[in-house]
Amino acid sequence: MLSSSDKNNKYFLGIDGGGSKCKAIITSTDNKILGTGISGPANPGHGYDQAVNSITESALLALKDAGLEDIALSEVVAGVGLAGVNLPVLFEQMSNWQHPFKRMFLATDLLIACLGAHQGADGAVMITGTGSCGFSNVDGHPFIVGAHGFPHGDKGSGAWFGLQAAKQVLLSLDGLIPLSLMNDKVLDLLSVTNGVELVEAIAGKPAAFYARMANLVFDCAEQGDELAASIVAEGSEYINNVARQLWRQNPPRMSMIGGLTPRLKPWLAQEIQDKLLEPLSPPEIGSILFAQQQLALV
């Protein structure tokens, strides 16, 4: 049974935590956005402490932006969608967090993206940001393609494109393949001059670091660089296949979201592009819709 305080809840917090940043919104009960906050990465697979700190910081920033600094986090119901918690061990870890909220409803970033894109209805999404994956939710049956994490997965993601660029530049600096337009762009971006310095700059870096190099791959491909174009072609064909796999689940609509979408979408097969629909709402709204759905079930 809902308590009277739950029924009279005035504010909802929606969290979308990914590998590069965590975005929070605060809304009233009619889902009007009152404030927004953005902080650092919030994928617990890349660090539990970083994730919980980013969630809390973005939430406080959203309250401040809304002019609601007199409202404590303990008065707010939070829907929290995070990258990484599709893995049971990470979901359990975050579920056990002694969070500061009135209530917290935890979901994968995949589910909240899908709920937001289709305004709580059935559908599918392809996420192409720092990471990549596909997800559909049809008749209560979730279906995931990918979401295996970087570097062993996440093909077609920002991190993957950046990693390919670094690999190819290293090969060219060793004289094993021809130079490409990517060489100077990668070296300039990372402020290095040779292969040894490049390895020192990229060694052990997280997905968000590699994702910084993704746009230059597309820049070079669009300028006619064959090596960059081959990387983009390989990544986009993977995303094409993700889309085809999702369509087999018969979702009523499909959207593509994530920071890399504007660069990657034009490279997809035309029949895939033609069937994609614009998302109706962002993932943060999906988090709030999820929290509201879960509250109604309590």
d(CA 120, CA 18): 20
Distance CA 93, CA 184 (A): 42
Place of tokens 């130079």: 179
Please give the tally of structural domains in the chain.
2
pLDDT at 9: 61
Report the 10 Å Cβ neighbour count for 189.
Answer: 16
Determine, yes or no, domain membership for 235. yes
Q: Name the residue with tokens 């959203």.
A: 62
Strand, coil or helix: 262: helix
Q: Say whether both 168 and 271 belong to one domain.
A: yes
Q: Indicate the SS3 state at residue 281.
A: coil
Range of the domain at 72: 4-119+280-297
CA angle 227, 228, 229 (to 5 degrees): 90
Contact 190/169 with Cβ under 8 angstroms?
no
- Over its C-alpha atoms, the chain yields an Rg (Å, rounded) of 20
- Tell whether 14 is covered by a domain: yes
Q: Mind listing the pLDDT tens digit of every residue in the chain (298 residues)? A: 334 444 456 899 999 998 778 999 999 888 889 999 999 999 898 889 999 999 999 999 999 999 998 899 999 999 999 988 988 999 999 999 999 999 999 999 899 999 999 999 999 999 998 889 999 999 989 999 998 888 888 999 999 999 999 999 999 999 999 999 999 999 999 999 999 999 999 999 988 899 999 999 999 999 999 999 999 999 999 999 999 999 999 999 999 998 899 999 999 999 999 999 999 999 999 999 999 989 888 7
CATH assignment of the domain containing 23: 3.30.420.40
Q: How far is CA 224 from CA 188, 218, 227, 231, 232, in A?
A: 20, 10, 9, 12, 12
6/298 Cα distance (integer angstroms): 10
Q: List phi, psi (to 5°) of 253.
A: -155, 160
pLDDT confidence of residue 253: 95
Decide: pTM greater than 0.85. Answer: no
Could you give the residue ranges of the DSSP H alpha helices within 99-157?
109-117
In this structure, the number of other CB atoms found within 10 A of the CB of residue 277 comes to: 13
| Contact (CB, 8 A) for 215 and 263 | yes
Check whether residue 178 and residue 202 sit in a common domain.
yes
Within this chain, do residues 288 and 259 fall inside the same structural domain, yes or no? no
Specify whether 259 is located in the same domain as 291. no
Per-residue model confidence (pLDDT) at position 7: 44
Please check whether residues 227 and 247 belong to one and the same domain: yes
pLDDT at 153: 86
Q: Is residue 126 part of a domain?
A: no
